[in-house]
């Protein structure tokens, strides 16, 4: 990721913060629409899960300027997710759901530049998690 992309992700995430729960709701609605079988991996009540999601994204977004500092936490997250049954192919679905939720949330403000920046951020973060999850599952 380049500096401009990092700033774009951080700026847009800050704009989403006042309505973070709505963004998280959009994400989970999209994820479960893409793959209904994933719903069983989550608790019946998603309020706490939505808070955890947004907090985790917040930490990751804040750490984009120093991704090397994020690596241990991302690896642990990937290992934990492997233990929950998350498979490699789920990461593409999560990325699709996240980018779709962001597009819906921001509407016309979700420009090609914003989409590209978020795709780069997700690719970076998910790549580390996928690798750690694959190693943990092996």
Give the residue numbers annotated as catalytic, written as ranges: 91, 131
If you count them, how many residues does the chain have? 138
Q: In terms of DSSP H, where are the helices of the chain?
A: 3-16, 20-34, 47-62, 67-83, 88-106, 112-137
Give the whole-angstrom CA distance, residue 47 versus residue 38.
17
CA–CA gap between residue 19 and residue 70 (Å, rounded): 25
Per DSSP, the three-state class of 117 is helix
């Amino acid at each position: 990721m380049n500096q401009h992309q990092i700033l774009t992700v951080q700026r847009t995430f800050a704009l989403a913060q006042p309505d973070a729960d709505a963004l998280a709701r959009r994400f989970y609605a999209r994820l479960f629409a893409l793959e209904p079988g994933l719903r069983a991996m989550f608790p019946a009540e998603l309020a706490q899960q939505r808070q955890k999601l947004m907090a985790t994204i917040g930490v990751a977004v804040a750490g984009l300027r120093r991704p090397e500092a994020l690596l241990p936490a991302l690896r642990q997250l990937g290992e934990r997710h492997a233990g929950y049954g998350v498979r490699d192919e789920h990461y593409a679905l999560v990325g699709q759901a996240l980018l779709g939720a962001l597009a819906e949330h921001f509407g016309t403000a979700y420009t090609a530049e914003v989409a590209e920046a978020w795709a780069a951020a997700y690719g970076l973060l998910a790549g580390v998690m996928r690798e750690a999850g694959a190693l943990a599952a092996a």
